Amino acid sequence: MSHLAGKPMTFVEAARAVLADAEGPLHYREITRRALDRNLLVSSGKTPEETLNARLCVDLKQHGDASEFIRTAPGLFALRVKSAPHDSAVAGDEHRTDDAQVRVPFFPNYDEVRAVLPVWAGLKPERVTRLHRAIMSLTGNPKETVDWSEPDDWIPKRLEGENRELALHMWQRSKRSVNPRYMAGHWLLARTYELLDARDGKLDWTERGRDFVANPSGDTVRWIDDREGLLQLLSLLADRGQAQTSEIWEPWRSFLDEVSNVRSDSYARAMLYDRIRNLLARGLAARSGRVMSATPDGLDWLRAGGQEPSQGTPSEHFDIQSLAQQQRAHVRTALIETLREMNPIAFEHTVAALLNAMGYDNVQVTAPSNDKGVDVVANIKLGISSVREVIQVKRQKSNIGRPVLDALRGSLHRFHGVRGTIITTGGFTQGTVKAAFEPGAAPITLIDGEALVDLLMEHNIGVRRRPIVLFELDPAGLGTITGSAQDNEGID
């Protein structure tokens, strides 16, 4: 593209020229690099990439759907694709095409996909789909329920012939990680992104599939993460530092409205939960109680792809979030150690203070000489009723065993309690967890050390929050004033 009268292009013109030649969306830093390499831009500023980003953001803010640009992910831009209304996935949404993002339901764990791809390679596609149809046609009934979590049991009993053979092969070859009952997401991911291709009637490896298996941090994985909204989700977590699922639901829903064909809220929530599980399994996000956050590895994964927590956020914010997470981890460790070293009576009163903060009424620490193993009693409202809860606390690193739970359950009637809670700075044995909500028995809630620290920090007990104010550029708030001198040439 030639320059008008030999003059350099404006930032918007340069971005349009670069994106017109690109095969897909580009990060604004890459747009700037290509524009400078092609001498489309002449800039004396130190951060031309930030100027270009600002100009594109202003264009989107001012023109909305009429803008010739779209933002496909934080920092990523593309030219808007114009299409006839009847070709659009949703009438009136001109930039929606058949290339919509976030397409795979039942989104799987990547390691599970890597485990099952070699099983499918060499098979006819219809053999895999035939197995899936056969499995999904199986149903139980009230008299004969099916435990689908035990493939070693249900596959031999419920399947026959080549379906049984393939299902067992999938289950065993994947080292019992891919349950054939729940293979739909794995298959859809493999076929949607052409990890396997049907050649001469049989599934064969593609270069993309080989890269997906061999390079967990490679280009194919990053591309799928981008297309399926995982980078956007990770960016939302990074932007907030820590968040509950409810806090990222609205921006996730808005993101789907912009780039996908997903219209059902329940479907959108299911896709959100599946992708959260994927990020957790890969160590890119971490969950502590009800709170999630991007891990240092997650922040590095975003950095490596040129992503940012939110539009316009400087890359330095990544470092601030990372340091904040490290400091929070140090506080958590110090808090649990402090709890384990506390005077037993002081620990009981700390738990009482927590219950008060959580909305319990009539919280009382029992007399040490006659507590029958019970340390705190309190009332909690359930609907229109108020019930008595009996709490036992334990300061220890080791796991609590079943006898402690049974003893507490046996003491409930002495305090007119209808349910109990065990709070410990350690953990619980599997037998204790299994018995906590035993049918026909009074329920016992189990709070381990990690959950206890979450609750204390959430209610500011034993910790103090110190807010940090961060400033970030908001070019849209400057209207058309933001930009280079050449953009405003001729204005007095």
Each residue's pLDDT tens digit, 430-479: 999 999 988 888 999 999 998 999 899 888 899 988 877 767 666 666 66
Cβ-contact 220, 269 below 8 angstroms: no
Q: How many Å apart are CA 140 and CA 153, to the nearest integer?
A: 14
Contact 429, 402 (CB under 8 A): yes
> Within the chain, which residues score under 70 in pLDDT?
1-8, 44, 73, 81-99, 140-146, 306-319, 321-322, 368-373, 470, 472-492
Q: Say which residue the tokens 């410990």 belong to.
A: 424
Q: Using an 8 Å Cβ cutoff, are 233 and 74 in contact?
A: no
Angstrom distance (rounded) from CA 318 to CA 298:
10
Helices 296-304 and 230-240: crossing angle, nearest 10°? 120
Fold matches, 4-80 and 340-458:
no
Instruction: Give the model confidence (pLDDT) of 243-273 as tens digits.
Output: 888 888 888 988 898 888 888 888 899 999 9
Q: 306 and 29 in contact (C-beta within 8 Å)?
A: yes
Domain ranges of the chain: 4-80, 110-220, 340-458
Q: What is the structure's pLDDT at 52?
A: 86
CA dist., res. 101 & res. 104, Å (int): 9
pLDDT at 177: 93
Cβ count within 10 A of residue 327: 11
Report phi then psi at 202, rounded to 5. -125, 150
Q: Looking at residue 97, what is its pLDDT?
A: 41
Tokens 């001498």 map to which residue? 39
Question: What's the confidence (pLDDT) of residue 307?
Answer: 61
Structure token digits, residue 120: 């499918």
Output the six-digit token pair for 295: 């891990």
| Cβ contact 170:183 at 8 Å | yes
Label the pairing between strands 76-79 and 69-73. Answer: antiparallel
User: What's this model's pTM, rounded to 2 decimal places?
Assistant: 0.55
Q: What pLDDT is recorded for position 318?
A: 60
Which of 3.40.50.2300, 1.20.120.1750, 3.40.1350.10, 3.40.225.10 is the CATH number of 340-458? 3.40.1350.10
CATH architecture of the domain with range 4-80: Orthogonal Bundle (1.10)
pLDDT of the residue at 90:
26
